[in-house]
Chains A and B, each alone.
Chain A
Amino acid sequence: MSGRAWKFGDNISTDEITPGRYMGLRSNITELAKHTLEDARKEFPSSVRAGDFVVASKNFGMGSSREHAPIVIKTCGVTAVLAVSFARIFYRNAINIGLPAIACDTTMINEGDELELNLSEGEVQNLTRRIKIHFPPMSREMQVILSEGGLIAYVEKHGDLIFS
Chain B
Amino acid sequence: MTGNTLAEKLIGSHTAKGSVTAGEVVIVRVDYTFSHDAAGPLLIQQLAQLKGTPDKNHTIFFIDHGVPSPTKELANDQATVRNYASVNGLILSDTGNGICHQVIAEDYASPGDLLVGTDSHSCTCGGLCAFGTGMGATDIAIAMKLRKTWLRVPESIKINVEGRLPRGVFAKDLILKTLSILGTDGATYESLEFDGPAIDELEVYGRLTLTNMAVEAGAKTALVKSDNRTKTYLKEFDREERWREIHADDDASYQSEIVINASELQPQIAFPGSPSNVKSISEARDVKVNEVYIGSCTNTRIEDMRIVAGIFKNREKAKGLKLIVTPSSRKLYIKLMQEGILETLIQAGAAVTPPGCGVCYGAVGGIPADNEVIFSTSNRNFTGRTGNPKAQTYLGSPATAAATAITGKITDPREYV
Contact = CB atoms under 8 A, between A and B. Distances in A.
Q: Are these two chains actual partners, yes or no?
A: yes
Interface of A: 11, 13, 15-16, 19-21, 23-28, 39-40, 58-59, 62-68, 85, 87-89, 92-93, 96-97, 139, 141, 150-152, 155-156, 160-163
Contacts of A25: 73
Contacts of B141: 152
Contacts, number: 150
A130 to B, nearest CB: 32
Contacts of B218: 59, 62, 87-88
A65 B384 contact: no
Interface stretch (B85-93, B181-189, B241-249, B264-272): B181-189
Contacts of B27: 161-162
Interface string B53-78: 00000000000011000010110110
B387 A21 contact: yes
Contacts of A87: 185, 188, 218
B231 to A, nearest CB: 31
B136 A66 contact: yes
Interface of B: 25, 27, 38-39, 41-42, 46, 49-50, 65-66, 71, 73-74, 76-77, 80, 118-120, 122, 134-139, 141-142, 145-146, 148-150, 152, 184-185, 188-189, 215, 218, 220, 274, 361-363, 367, 380, 382-385, 387-389
Contacts of B185: 11, 58-59, 62, 85, 87
A95 B362 CA distance: 27
B25 A20 contact: no
Contact of A13 (B189, B361, B383): B383
A68 B66 CA distance: 16
Contact of B220 (A88, A141, A163): A88
Given A23-B74, A58-B185, A151-B142, A16 B382 contact: yes
A163 B389 contact: no
B361 A23 contact: yes
A141 B136 contact: no
A15 B120 contact: no
A155 B152 CA distance: 19
B77 A88 contact: no
